[in-house]
Structure 1
Amino acid sequence: MSTSERQVDGCPEPWNSAPYAGAIHSPVGDVTLRDAEGWSFPLDVGRWSGRADPADEAVLERCTGPILDVGCGAGRLVEALARRGHAVLGVDERRRVRIHVGRQAVSPVFSWATVGTRALERHGRLSGWAPIERWTSLSGERHFVALRACA
């Protein structure tokens, strides 16, 4: 979990600190998340450590008020929103994973989540949230949903 309230010298904890720092500072190679049951997910460390891309900017520009980033991953967008003055909370709630470089674990176990847009909308509706916008990055690889609390 990443929060804007976690402070170090008056600044939010950077997105590139533990447990992601081990992967970011590891030699380029086969960087994956793995859980105890054998599930594996490749990590795009280059994208994490780069500047905001157009898809990131599209998300950041749509954000108003307090923000909940479900499936925040490394928390890079959580940090960017906190720097813009938003109250923001990033949550990863589904698996307990470790970062691996090749076959070697380079991090302690931590929580990680992924959620598709349809599942997010379904769970959101059940929790009192309504989808107000859906969009896809220009590459078609990333999908987004904006939700607002029902009145």
Structure 2
Amino acid sequence: MKRTVTVKLQAPKEVERIPFELAVITGKVWNEVNYLRMRDFKEGRIVDFNRSGKIVYEKYKREVGSATVQQVCRKNADGWRSFFENLGKMRSGEFPKWFKPKPPGYREENHLIILRNDQYRIEGNKLILKGLGKFGRVEVSPTSQDF
């Protein structure tokens, strides 16, 4: 089962910058793995999800943690697989002629945090993030109780 948890956070001053830095770095991970895959696609090569994922993984695993890098690469691969599936359907005539599938796009670096389900938990009124590379463990309180 897939789920998305969206919360509005009011972080203490000492950890206020961490979610922003985390979002910037995970955005860079997305953009870099997407660039490698886009380059393969545009040059007519097979898009090798493992190779591009490993390149980005080695570069960023210490900054945001290995699980975070893996999740971003997996989410990007899902987008590419969907693109290829739609491309096949378009070529076989399942879609109208005006429909043109597009590969995943690039992200603004400060708008993306993707975490694996074991990297966060909610205890009472705190969101606890862990396994975030150089950031370690982070506790933040939400502005409201509506999770």
User: TM > 0.5 between the two?
Assistant: no
Normalised-by-shorter TM-score class:
under 0.3
Instruction: Pick the structure with more helix per residue.
Output: 2
The alignment's TM-score, normalised by the length of structure 2, stands at: 0.25
The alignment's TM-score, normalised by the length of structure 1, stands at: 0.24
Instruction: Pick the structure with more strand per residue.
Output: 1
